[in-house]
Amino acid sequence: MDFKFTEQEEAFRHEIREFITKELPSGWRGGLVEDEYSDEVWPFTQAIVRKLAARGWLTLAWPKEHGGQGRSTIEQLIYQEETSYHGVPGTDMGVGGVSWVGPCLMLFGSEQQKREHLPRIAAGESFWCTGYSEPDAGSDLASVRCRAIASGDDYIISGQKVWTSAAHVAGWCWLAARTDPDASRHRGISLLLVDMKSKGITIRPLIDLIGVCAFNEVFFDEVRTPKTNLVGEENQGWSYIMAALNFERGWPGIRFAALAKRILEDLVVYAMETKHQGYSLAGESALRHKLAEMAIEIEAGRLIAYRAAWLQGKGLVSESEASMSKLFSSELFQRVTDLGMQILGAYGQLSSDSKWAPLKGWILRTYLYSPSVTLVSGTSEIMRNIIAMRGLGLPRG
C-alpha cells in the first residue's frame, strides 16, 4: 500500500500554502469559530470567503453541476487540513453551509431549493447557521419542541434554539422543528430552511469563555416560512438530520488534528527558546517525552481522518470511522491545550493584551475554547455509542 500523496495532491497543497502566505497577515493566529464571526474579524472573514469562492475551493468536492469542482475527498481533506492549520476563516460559510447544508440539499432538496441555495453557497454569498439544540434537547435531539404548524402555504414557527453558532451573521437557518406533536419522538420532526431576516426572529448573543459571541439563543415568535422551504418530506426530518450529522462529523477530525499540530509546534519553539534555572525547557526529559507523545497522537489523528475520507471517496459507509476521527482529534485537542498550559505555568493565564503573555495569549484562548470541541457535532459519549453500535456491532446500552 502506498501512503504517499500523488503529485497532483502535493501540488494542490503547495497552491493552498501560497494562497495563505499571500492573503493572511503576518503573524495571523486564527482557526477558532469564535474569532471568525467576532465584530473585529467578520469583515476579514467575508473578504477571505470571496477569494476562496473565486478559486472554487469552498465547494471543492461538490459535483460540478452544483458549483463544485468534482475533486476527490482526499483533496478536500488536504484543503481542510491546510486551512485549519493556518486558521483561514470562513471555510464553512457560517456553520454548515458547505459541509452539510449543501450536500443534504443535493440529496433531499427540491429542484427549486437547489437552484436557489447551492450556487449562492458556492459563490460565498450565503452564510448559514444550524438550529438543532434547544434548552431541553442537545444530545437527545429527538426531544426538540420548537413547533412548525402548517397554515395555508406557510409553516408558522414558534420556539427557541440555543448554542446556535454564527446565528448573528447568518442569512439562513437549517432548522429542525416538530411538525407532528402526536407522533413518536423520532417522527414528526421536519427540516426547514428559514430566512434569518424573517419577522419574529430574535437573536440573543451568548458570550463565551474567550469573551466573544459565537453562540446565540434564537427565538421564533410565529415566524412564517413558505412550505416550499420544507426539505424532503414532512415529518421525515430525523433521517435527514442523521445524514447531515454524518456529513458534519467528517470535518472536525482533521480540523482539530491540524490545530493541535500548530499548537504543538508553537510549544516546541517556546520550549527551545525558554530557559529555566539556566537550562532550556527543551532539555527536560519529562517535557520532551510529553511533547513526543503528543506528536505521535497528532499523526494518529491525521491518519484516522484520512482513512475516513478515503472510505467516503470509495462510496463506503464511514459513520463509525468519522466518529472515531471526531472523537480522537477533539479529545487530542483538549490534551494538547492542557499540556500547553502546564508548560507555560502561571504565565499561561495572561491574555493577549499583556506584554508578558507567552505566544501572545494563544494557548490560553485555545485552552478556553477546548471544552466545546468534545460537544460540537455530537458529544464524546455519543461518538463512543456510534462506534460501539455501528463499528463493533454491539447492542444499544
- What digits encode the pLDDT tens for the residues 146-203? 999 999 999 999 999 999 999 999 999 999 999 999 998 889 999 999 999 999 999 9
Q: Which three cell numbers stand for residue 380?
A: 464524546
DSSP character at residue 127: -
What pLDDT is recorded for position 138? 83
Alpha-carbon 76 to chain mean position: 14
In this prediction, residue 41 carries a pLDDT of 86
Q: Residue 131 forms beta bridges with which residues?
A: 175
- Smallest CA-to-CA distance from 225 within 255, 189, 195, 203 is with 195
- Class (C level, CATH) for 249-391: mainly alpha
Catalytic residue status for 248: yes
Catalytic, out of 36, 248, 319, 321: 248
Residues facing residue 161 across a β-bridge: 218
From first to last of its 397 residues, what are the pLDDT tens digits of the chain?
467 899 999 999 999 999 999 999 988 887 676 678 888 888 999 999 999 999 999 999 999 999 999 999 999 999 999 999 999 998 887 678 999 999 999 999 999 999 999 999 999 999 999 999 999 988 888 999 999 999 999 999 999 999 999 999 999 999 999 999 999 888 999 999 999 999 999 999 998 877 778 889 999 999 999 999 999 999 999 999 988 988 887 778 899 999 999 999 999 999 999 987 777 888 889 999 999 999 999 999 999 999 988 888 888 767 899 899 999 999 999 999 999 999 999 999 998 889 999 999 999 999 999 998 998 888 999 999 999 999 999 998 7
Q: String of b and e for 255-265 (b: at least 16 CB within 10 Å)?
A: bbbbbbbbbbe
Residue 5 burial (10 A CB sphere; 0-12, 13-18, 19+): middle
The domain ranges of the chain are: 7-91, 128-235, 249-391
- What pTM was computed for the model? 0.91
CATH among 1.10.540.10, 3.30.565.10, 1.10.10.60, 3.30.160.160 for 7-91: 1.10.540.10
Fold for domain 128-235? Butyryl-CoA Dehydrogenase, subunit A; domain 2 (2.40.110)
Cβ neighbors of 192 (< 8 A, separation 6 or more) are 148, 155, 157, 175, 177, 225, 229, 230, 231
